[in-house]
Amino acid sequence: MRMRPTLLWSPAEDWPPGTTDPEPVAEALGGGGVLVLSGAGLSTESGIPDYRGEGGSLNRHTPMTYQEFTASARARRRYWARSQLGRRTFGRARPNAGHRAVAAFGRRGLLTGVITQNVDGLHRAAGSEGAVELHGSLARVVCLACGTFSARRELAERLEEANPGFDPVASAVNPDGDADLSDAQVGDFRVVPCARCGGVLKPDVVFFGENVPPERVAHCRALVREAASLLVLGSSLTVMSGLRFVRQAAEAGKPVLIINRDPTRGDRHAVTRVALPLGATLTALAERLGVQVD
């Protein structure tokens, strides 16, 4: 029986403190060969909340797990109703200064790659076309029966047709695109099956309690091996899916640098953690290095 995934983490009293000096990050970027690993904190300036920061969604919301989604039709109804509403917020989100700076560093040849834990597609929208979406993308859905992939927008149209007039007011939207709705607001929301085989549809994202596809992990590990350093942006590194790459880099003697306001589970492996806002800090670093940000 699988245990419930780790959602929260608290630093020990002797945890390394953060700094406001971005000089080590500037030196790493200036030398090139940097691999970026980004988390939900990078997208907060685009209006998408994070999980664990101040006001993070985990303070009020328990994300759907893979086990719940696959085992319960009621859970799937709740998920798709909330996702249908949350999609409107995600659809309005645009890349922020942090995403644009990362894309600019890539164009300048300072990065060897980008790995993102986010499912919002904002790295690609900003121009980081080769970004590895570690946890998948909300822009796609997959049938658990036949394996067919399709666009989320197509499913949205089918759900609208099946649920005319569905327009409740959500109290909040979460980083996984799940809007906060009560059971009463979900009501008798109708879920539609796979158009090809009638099977169960799932967003093409890695739920809590689900494993990242092994071939994707292997690709990311190869990127870590090829990089000169690892730069973590906006992630608490609470879950192992991202922390393992920090540990890999540190064990290989590669500098790990973190920009995140709050302590992270990877701080002990890092050269520094810069506790500053991401958008402004990355923009300032770009200016210092003479990198043009669109």
Catalytic residue annotation: 135
Q: Is 91 assigned to a binding site? A: no
Q: Is 23 assigned to a binding site? A: no
Q: Burial code of 35-58, b = ≥16 C-beta within 10 A, e = fewer? A: bbbbbbbbbbbbebbbbbbeebbb
Q: Is 13 assigned to a binding site? A: no
Q: Is 48 assigned to a binding site? A: yes
C-alpha 231/C-alpha 66 separation (Å) is 29
Q: Is 266 assigned to a binding site? A: no
Q: Is 52 assigned to a binding site? A: yes
Q: Is 120 assigned to a binding site? A: yes
**H-helix or E-strand containing 133?**
strand 132-133
Query: Given the DSSP bridges, would you call strands 34-38 and 111-116 parallel, antiparallel or unpaired?
Result: parallel
Q: Is 277 assigned to a binding site? A: no
Q: Burial code of 59-87, b = ≥16 C-beta within 10 A, e = fewer? A: eebebbbbbbbeeeeeebbbbbbbbbbbb
- CB neighbours of residue 15 within 10 Å: 14
| 215-222 CB contacts, 8 Å cutoff, 24+ apart | 216/132, 216/134, 217/244, 219/132, 220/115, 220/132, 220/134, 220/245, 221/245, 221/248
Structure tokens at 217: 């992990």
Q: Is 197 assigned to a binding site? A: yes
Q: Is 146 assigned to a binding site? A: yes
Q: Is 108 assigned to a binding site? A: no
- Binding-site members for NAD(+) are 39-59, 117-120, 234-236, 278
Annotated binding site for Zn(2+): 143, 146, 194, 197
